[in-house]
Homo-oligomer: A and B are copies of this chain.
Amino acid sequence: MSNSTIKDKQGLTEEQFLEQYDVSKYDRPSVTVDMLILTIMDEEKENYRKLPEKKLKLLLIKRGEHPYIGQWALPGGFVGVNESIDAAAIRELKSETNIDNIYMEQLYTWGDPGRDPRTRVISCSYMALVDSTALKIKAGDDAADAAWFEFKYKIVQEHRTELEKGHQLERLIKIELVNELATLTATVKVTETVKNRSTRYSREIVDSQGIAFDHAVMMEYAIERLRNKLEYTDLAFSLVPELFTLTELQKVYEVILGKELLAAAFRRKIANMVIETEQYTRDAGHRPSQLFRFNPNWRYEK
């Protein structure tokens, strides 16, 4: 694909050029990956009849080193010089969850100077979705400093400013991360600017309590992406076991979207994404529920 015969201004062929190319000449930032590892877990049942409530959980690591020592951060690490970014993400994921074959997707690359006090660090964020029943080792066992936090997300304020040719909408979003160990909070301001025939979004941290770096913005971004893609992809199935009930699946949608859905409409909507099995739940304290599995061909069937 490359061209090996043409010479440049110095009269070098591509081969010669590459030989004399001095890598150290240019200043370079560090590149890291940061992982948003999400799962859905069941809470304790209130009583023998009720179904367990489902909660969205995020995996965080307590920092044992500067900077942000003692605060909680997304798992992540440096991208190796001979490692692809995806490979670095998969490596981090594996080291935290001990599962392969997880749904994983690149989200966004964050690179404001000053986002890491050590040096210039550019971070590529990834979202991974895990079926919590498949977690072989629970976070917290091997790594005493890793823990799942319940992820809460709420729009607390909206403020609109009229502009000459459009407007600006500022939303304050409160993120709360809760478990037995700690409660972390952050407020992220998402600004939507509609001007000159186009809409632009920007995010900044207003306040961050106990969350390291700019990780709160990454969390806000991730949940928005998750909510969006839930509606038109098969992403939800990464969060449930191989066999699941439709009510379970519905609750996954509900906890992510933050609103209740009507069972009839929901079932119609996901009808061709699932295949029924002959199996049913038992000992439920109420009518048993049929178990379904994911239909990998849902996009190609009517």
Q: List A residues at the B interface (Cβ < 8 Å).
A: 1-3, 6-9, 12-14, 17-18, 21, 23, 26-31, 64-71, 78-79, 81-86, 101-104, 106, 108-113, 117-120, 122, 124, 129, 131, 165-167, 194-200, 205, 208, 233-235, 237-238, 240, 242, 294, 296-297
A18 touches B197 (CB 8 A): no
User: CB within 8 A of A3: which of B21, B71, B110, B242?
Assistant: B71
User: Is chain A's binding surface mostly helix, strand, loop or mixed?
Assistant: loop
B235 touches A198 (CB 8 A): yes
Of residues A66, A120, A237, which shows the largest number of chain B Cβ atoms within 10 Å of its Cβ?
A: A66
A21 touches B118 (CB 8 A): yes
Chain B residues with CB below 8 A from A78, complex form: 26
Chain B residues with CB below 8 A from A6, complex form: 69-70
Chain B residues with CB below 8 A from A294, complex form: 197
Stoichiometry, copies per complex? 2
Q: In chain B, what residue has the closest Cβ to A70?
A: B6
B26 touches A30 (CB 8 A): yes
Q: In chain B, what residue has the closest Cβ to A205?
A: B1
B70 touches A198 (CB 8 A): no
Chain B residues with CB below 8 A from A117, complex form: 2, 14, 18
Could you write out 21 A-B pairs with CB less than 8 Å apart?
A2-B68, A3-B69, A6-B70, A14-B67, A17-B65, A18-B66, A28-B30, A29-B81, A79-B111, A79-B122, A81-B113, A83-B113, A102-B198, A106-B109, A194-B297, A195-B296, A197-B294, A198-B234, A198-B235, A198-B237, A199-B233
What CA separation (Å) do A196 and B14 show in the bound complex? 45
What CA separation (Å) do A71 and B2 show in the bound complex? 8
Q: In chain B, what residue has the closest Cβ to A238?
A: B198
B69 touches A84 (CB 8 A): no
User: CB within 8 A of A67: which of B17, B66, B237?
Assistant: B17
> How many Å from the CB of A133 to the closest CB on chain B?
12
B120 touches A1 (CB 8 A): no
Chain B residues with CB below 8 A from A297, complex form: 167, 194
Of residues A70, A104, A120, A234, which shows the largest number of chain B Cβ atoms within 10 Å of its Cβ?
A: A120
Q: In chain B, what residue has the closest Cβ to A13?
A: B66
A64 touches B296 (CB 8 A): no
Q: In chain B, what residue has the closest Cβ to A23?
A: B119
> How many Å from the CB of A29 to the closest CB on chain B?
6
What CA separation (Å) do A117 and B21 show in the bound complex? 10
What CA separation (Å) do A79 and B122 show in the bound complex? 10
The 3 A-B pairs at the shortest CB distance, nearest first, are namely A85-B111, A17-B66, A103-B198
> How many Å from the CB of A165 to the closest CB on chain B?
7
Chain B residues with CB below 8 A from A69, complex form: 3, 6-8, 14
